[in-house]
Amino acid sequence: MSSLALMRLLESAPARYDAGMRVLTLGRVEQIRDALAEAAAPSPGARVLEIGCGTGAVTEKLVTRGASVTAVDQNPEMVERARARLVHSVPRTVSFIERTASEIDAFPPASFDAVVACLSLSEMSRQERAFVLKWAMHALRPGGVLAIADEVRPRRLINRVLQKLVRGPQAAFGWIIAGSVSCPISGLAEEATGAGFAIRSERRWLFETLGVVIAERGR
Amino acid sequence: MMLQTMFDFAKDALQTGFRLAPWPAEPGLRQIGKPGPLSPVLVTCNFDFTVRRVMRAMRDNDAWLVVAPSSGINVWCAASGGHLGTHQVVTALKTSGVAERVQHRRAMLPQLAATGVIAREVERRSRWQVKFGPVYAKDIPRYLAQHERKTDDMRHVRFGMPERLEMAVTWAVPMSLIGAIALLLFHRAWLLPAVGMVWLLAIAVFTIYDRLLGQRFLLLALVASLISLGLTAIAGGGLAALIAAPLASTAISALLTFDYSGSTPIEGGSHFKEARWHITLDTERCQGVYFCWQVCPEACFETREDVRKVEIAHSDRCIRCGACVVQCPTDALSFEGEKGSRIEPATIRRFKLNLLGQRKVEAGREALEIDGES
């Protein structure tokens, strides 16, 4: 059962992050990362902007697929860890920027073929997400791909109840230990549509609690 | 109106009692009164209590309030613990939409955010000029009326009776609740005396421990044990109670005095190595911008207009919050550790405090070392 309420806790200790994420998502996180990388870098040479790279797991997959990646994360320890993970990647087609997602407005218009965000949007407020999606659109070339994955609110009542039951205690624990928790997004695809993206596909995993949305900027 | 006041009061009480838990308010832009394009822009944390407090203090004014995402934690704790820093303020100023509402780019931050937010970095990255206003929300109207000039009293953290009692409540509510649940399950007869003991000790430690007992733990434990023993005897407690009472009071005292130094501005991080750090000034580097003097909550600095330098006139008052070190643009200030080692300003800017008031320096290094090996 998925519950990423502990995500923030794991984040406070990047060394434990990857192992923890695998447990929390019952291994599904790996499939999700693959789905994102596949959509964002269908062929070598894609220019990809990654928002919230964390420990660099998706970054690594993108680079392996031949993409050149600009990865942004505001947590210095995460950036450090991602750098260490990709230090041997040849050729060096990845750059890390220790910045907030709100600063992606600094990139020139249409300078990327794809924008990826894996489990980072749920850590932002709604307003922040709207801002980030708007500027992701700006940074994408026409026809460019938006590939996002995050914890979402299930559509079916039974799954929503399940999510609440599992999240509750974990959230309380995360609250006490790390001081905060992330919040599932109720309409991931809707928010992308709201920012002007055209949805290509939407998939749900793990009792509908993990959503992957692939969308594109219209031409 | 009456109902609203009562609701507000209930929320205040709840959020004071459970202050150790975060109470997040939705980050973003709020309007106070009827603000226009020239109205002042205030930034604060997203601890719900603080947001309501600022709105209440400003109720007769027009202003924009930008609520930054600080994980639902109050300004000082969030800034010192890495939850309210340059990133969060840049994010809030850029994504809240305030730029479209005003014609200026000046924002006021609470002074206590200075341990985490690097003012000049915010300016560079968001094009907003930020200034540290007063420590307390209730002083903001006066500060604005004085054309954004801070008087000495607006700069200093007070730790008088109201603040001390507030902290005692904050500590005693969750602790007595935990104790009560445990005793409900195992030994109901001890429930009331135990809860009473938690409250009495909490109030005693936060109000008189530093003033009357000179922060001597053994003295506190002795007095607490004797009093609890006496009360138990008077109440006709059995042998078990007579043994448990002094033990419990000593244990609670130990817990309290441990927590107390991290949650009060009396002394900073007293259990740790940092307690022996002291603030030092490289006078050569000081260019007399006085940011340190502006943000010091304990009035450690004095300005020397004749030579355009600051001096650390009262280092004894320093609580090692690090605000001055973080803000100094020329790195003239730093902490000096044991054996005269210098703790670099970059370290203070990057590594924040944990719940016990300890800087995560070692933890951070360790993590990096582990990375290197893997």
Q: Give me the helix-helix angle, B48-57 and B2-17, nearest 10°.
A: 140
| Closest CB from B28, B72, B91 relative to A102 | B91
**B15-155 topology per CATH:** Rossmann fold (3.40.50)
Counting one residue from A and one from B, how many pairs have CB atoms under 8 Å apart?
68
DSSP-derived letter for residue B240 is: H
Is a pLDDT exceeding 80 seen at residue B107? yes
Q: Do A103 and B71 touch (CB under 8 A)?
A: no
Domain with A208, as residue range(s), is 7-216
Residue of A nearest to B18 (CA): A176
Q: Is residue A104 a contact partner of residue A72, using CB atoms and an 8 Å limit?
A: yes
Distance CA A112, CA A139 (A): 6
User: Percent of chain B beyond pLDDT 90?
Assistant: 49
- Pairing state between β B333-336 and B301-304: unpaired
Q: Is residue B191 a contact partner of residue B246, using CB atoms and an 8 Å limit?
A: no
- Arithmetic mean of pLDDT over chain A: 84
A26 in any annotated domain: yes
* Domains identified in chain A, total number: 1
The first and second tokens of residue B256, run together, are 């309290």
Which chain B residues are Cβ-neighbours of A81 within 8 angstroms?
367, 371
Burial class (CB in 10 A: 0-12, 13-18, 19+), A100: buried
A139 in any annotated domain: yes
Q: What is the mean pLDDT of residues A143-152?
A: 93
A138 in any annotated domain: yes
Q: Do B27 and A179 touch (CB under 8 A)?
A: no
| Closest CB from A77, A80, A125 relative to B69 | A125
Distance CA A38, CA A6 (A): 27
**Residue (of A94, B69, A124) closest to A135 by Cα position:** A124
Is a pLDDT exceeding 70 seen at residue B361? no
CA-CA-CA-CA torsion for B320, B324, B329, B330, nearest 10 degrees? Answer: -60
For residue B352, give how far its alpha carbon lies from the nearest alpha carbon of chain A (Å): 12
Give the pLDDT of residue B190: 83
A2 in any annotated domain: no
Which ipTM was obtained for this model? 0.82
| Domain CATH number, residue A27 | 3.40.50.150
Q: Which pTM does this prediction carry?
A: 0.85
Distance CA A137, CA A127 (A): 16
Is a pLDDT exceeding 80 seen at residue B215? no
A208 in any annotated domain: yes
Chain B interface, best mutation among A18, A85, A102, A181, by max B CB count within 10 A: A102
Q: Per-residue pLDDT tens for A71-123?
A: 999 988 888 889 988 887 756 689 999 999 999 999 999 999 999 999 899 88
| Closest CB from B22, B27, B95 relative to A175 | B22
Is a pLDDT exceeding 70 seen at residue B371? no
| Closest CB from B21, B26, B94 relative to A131 | B94
Q: Do B22 and A179 touch (CB under 8 A)?
A: yes
Domain parsing of chain B, residue ranges: 15-155, 161-263, 273-373
Chain A interface, best mutation among B95, B128, B352, by max A CB count within 10 A: B95
| Closest CB from A14, A102, A175 relative to B367 | A14
CA angle B138, B67, A106 (to 5 degrees): 135
Q: What is the mean pLDDT of residues B23-30?
A: 92
A1 in any annotated domain: no
Which residues does residue B278 pair with via DSSP β-bridges, in sequence order?
B336
Q: Do A128 and B91 touch (CB under 8 A)?
A: yes
In this structure, what are the phi and psi dihedrals at residue B359, rounded to the nearest 5 degrees? Answer: -75, 140
**B273-373 topology per CATH:** Alpha-Beta Plaits (3.30.70)
Which chain A residues are Cβ-neighbours of B90 within 8 angstroms?
100, 102-103
The first and second tokens of residue B122, run together, are 């915010």
Which chain B residues are Cβ-neighbours of A125 within 8 angstroms?
26-28, 69, 95
Residues of A near B (Cβ–Cβ under 8 Å) read 8, 13-15, 74, 76-77, 80-81, 84, 99-103, 105, 124-128, 130-132, 175-176, 179-180
Q: Which residues in B359-369 are b (16+ Cβ under 10 Å) and which e?
A: bbbeebeebee
For residue B327, give how far its alpha carbon lies from the nearest alpha carbon of chain A (Å): 19
Contacts 24+ apart (CB under 8 A), B349-354: B349/B118, B349/B325, B350/A76, B352/B80, B352/B81, B352/B82, B352/B85, B352/B116, B353/B80, B353/B81, B353/B82, B353/B269, B354/B81
Distance CA B173, CA A36 (A): 47
Same fold, B15-155 and B273-373: no
Q: What is the mean pLDDT of residues B296-307?
A: 92
